[in-house]
Amino acid sequence: MRLRSEGDSASEKDINLTDDWLKWYASTDSSKPVFSFLFYDSPHAYDFPEDYEPKFKPMVEELNYLLLNKNTDPAPLFNRYRTSVHFADSLVAKVIAELKSKGKLDNTLIIITGDHGQEMNDNKLNYWGHNSNFTDAQVKVPFIVVGPGVEEGATPEYVDSFTSHEDLSPTLMKNYLGVENDTSDYSTGADLFGIFTDRDWVISSQYSGYGIITHDSILDVNAAGNYEILDKSNRPIKRSLNVQNTKEALERISRYLK
């Protein structure tokens, strides 16, 4: 198992990651199942190769958070971010093309997601990037699942319910790995292909704390245990602490600690 890719920039590392995966996949035994986890870093750094044509304009030439403020036009920065995502997509396309050329695409479950969103001062409070609040701009991510069994298991209509990365493991365990245990034996998530009941809240975490997110508020708790109740745009509101939600969240956080 490799833990990092070599390269002087995020985009160079991503190119090497993809090339190394292609070489590795070519050497695998096609009669046996394989698992791959590819982490593309270019969007984190708003990076792409110098010779990669910008896809969205106008675009800033470089990223400098010190120059940003609440009155900065986000479009040029966002366009650089979009181009970096476009570049990462081009590398993912090579992986998918390889699966297709080997006749494995229809028998491969592909999951594309992100570990966080990327705020562009969406709420006009001078927040840029990620890991600074728990608003939708920073915590909502795409979660695309394609492959065998998806059409049979997924809900066909649009559902406006809270989901979480916590749901990934029970969905895979129940539907693809033959695990029959109750999901609570090993996960705080739920099977996305099962009978899904909307949650009252979800948990999201960052380096220095965590947030309990409901449909209309955020309980932001820092590392010292101090908390603030905010609306969904990260502005303080006067509201009593929901003790029940908080107790359930603390139990969930500590359920598997030994």
Question: What's the whole-number mean pLDDT along residues 28-37?
Answer: 94
* Segment 211-220, tens digit of pLDDT: 999 999 999 9
Q: Is the pLDDT of residue 2 over 90?
A: no
pTM of the complete model: 0.91
Domain boundaries, the chain: 10-198
Question: What's the whole-number mean pLDDT along residues 161-182?
Answer: 94
Q: Is the pLDDT of residue 5 over 90?
A: no
Give the sign of the dihedral formed by CA 122, CA 212, CA 190, CA 116. positive
User: Mean pLDDT in the chain?
Assistant: 94
Q: Which residues contact 32 (CB under 8 A, 6 or more apart)?
A: none
Q: Is the pLDDT of residue 157 over 70?
A: no
Superfamily of domain 10-198: Alkaline Phosphatase, subunit A (3.40.720.10)
| CA torsion, ordered 204, 206, 210, 211, to nearest 10 deg | -50
pLDDT of residue 169: 95
pLDDT of residue 57: 95
Report d(CA 167, CA 79) in Å as an integer. Answer: 31
The type of residue at 124 is K
pLDDT of residue 152: 72
Q: Which two tokens stand for residue 121?
A: 């001062």
Q: Is the pLDDT of residue 187 over 70?
A: yes
pLDDT of residue 155: 64
